[in-house]
Amino acid sequence: MASEELTSSGYIKHHLVNLTYGRDAEGNWGFAESAEQAGEMGFWAIHVDSLLWSVALAAIMFYFFRMAAKRATAGVPGGLQNFVEMLVEFVDDSVKGSFPVCR
């Protein structure tokens, strides 16, 4: 990878292969060592690094949303409450834009 030109798609492919866990062609479970091994693992391969980042980001968002909910007031909202409301409205607008039936 050091001698190759670094592109965004190459970077993503490299990092999705690093921690891919699944069953290889012989039926053994383990981490893929190359893109070919990751491809042979098929649909049920688990991208461990992506899974860990997803869980970590979900925990961080849950923490901030819970903290905002505990501090929420009926009067003038604080900065954290404004930020959380902005995120919720952004997701709501994105879903309504993607699925016109939800309107």
What are the tens digits of pLDDT across the range 32-82? 888 788 888 888 889 898 899 999 999 999 998 999 889 888 888 888 889
CA distances (Å), origin 33, targets 5, 7, 13, 76, 82: 20, 20, 13, 55, 45
Q: Indicate the helix (H) or strand (E) that contains 47.
A: strand 46-47
Task: Answer with the residue of higher pLDDT: 20 or 16.
Answer: 20
Q: Say how far apart CA 20 and CA 39 lie, in whole Å.
A: 10
What are the tens digits of pLDDT across the range 69-83? 898 888 888 888 899
Domain ranges of the chain: 8-48, 55-102
User: pTM value?
Assistant: 0.64
